[in-house]
Amino acid sequence: MMNKDRCLIALIALMGVVGMSGCRSQVPYTPMEGSYYVNPAMKVKDLGRVALVELDNKTSYPEKSEELSEAIYVALQKCQLFGMTTIAQDDSRWHSLQSPLDANYDAEQLMEMRRVLESDAILTGTMTQFAPYPHMSVGLRIRLIDLRSGELLWAVEQVWDCGDAHTKIGIERYLQDQIGTEGSALQRTLVTTSSLNFFRFISYELAQTLDS
């Protein structure tokens, strides 16, 4: 009788573990929920070409904005939503426009940017935060503006922090999409300790909000 009781207790405990495990895999998760805006009238496919201007950088790590810009460019290209071109901060075309990244552009500026950059929209932004330790974190503010109408098409303002539970879930979902599993401890560590891998994760989440 004692053995039967022990078996029953063990079975109940096992069922509890399985149940908890199942609930964990079903944790509701929406990438960057509440941190981005998509113009409901936007028709992404109508954007023939988008110019991505290298991110401005307000951090103590000036080289990181180029790395993040490149990661965003690659992630958006993979979506195949529109054609893309990149504009470096020191590009003579960008300097000739004398247009601040965060400015509200008038009709004349929009027309001139469209002509010089040969694009229908412009994607600009700022890396507002970067900290490699005690755990990696990145702050980003970006916006996509239609150069034909001046409309704001897409905007994001978010901080990703490896110490945050929501970011950890996001990394698991990212690895699951990329390699078919939530990833090993080593793979998750590579995302949270390598800025290049972390930027790829961030860019993946950005692309998810635009290609939804």
Q: What percent of the chain has pLDDT over 90?
A: 59
Specify the pLDDT at position 71: 97
Residue 185: per-residue pLDDT:
80
| pLDDT band of 13, cuts 50, 70, 90 | very low
Kindly indicate the confidence band of residue 95, based on its pLDDT and cuts at 50, 70 and 90: confident
Given this model, what pLDDT does residue 210 score?
85
Extract the runs of DSSP E, i.e. beta strands, from the chain: 36-38, 49-53, 56-57, 83-87, 121-131, 137-146, 152-161
Phi, psi of 64, rounded to the nearest 5 degrees: -75, -25
User: How far, in Å, CA of 165 to CA of 171, rounded?
Assistant: 10
Which residues make Cβ contacts (< 8 Å) with residue 25, sequence separation at least 6? none
Q: Using alpha carbons, select from 144, 122, 193, 135 the residue that is nearest to residue 165.
A: 135
The pLDDT assigned to 182 comes to 64
More confident call, 109 vs 4? 109
Beta strands in 100-136 (DSSP E): 121-131
74 vs 80, higher pLDDT: 74
Q: What's the pLDDT at 22? A: 30
The reported pLDDT for the residue numbered 24 is 34
- pLDDT of 35 > 90? The answer is no
Per-residue pLDDT at 2: 42
User: Is the pLDDT at 120 greater than 60, yes or no?
Assistant: yes
Q: How confident is the model at residue 212 (pLDDT cuts 50, 70, 90)?
A: low
pLDDT digits (tens, 9 = 90+) for 163-198: 999 899 999 999 988 877 666 788 888 999 999 999
Is residue 137 scored above 90 in pLDDT?
A: yes
Q: Specify the pLDDT at position 30.
A: 65
More confident residue, 111 or 180: 111
Q: What is the mean pLDDT of residues 43-61?
A: 91
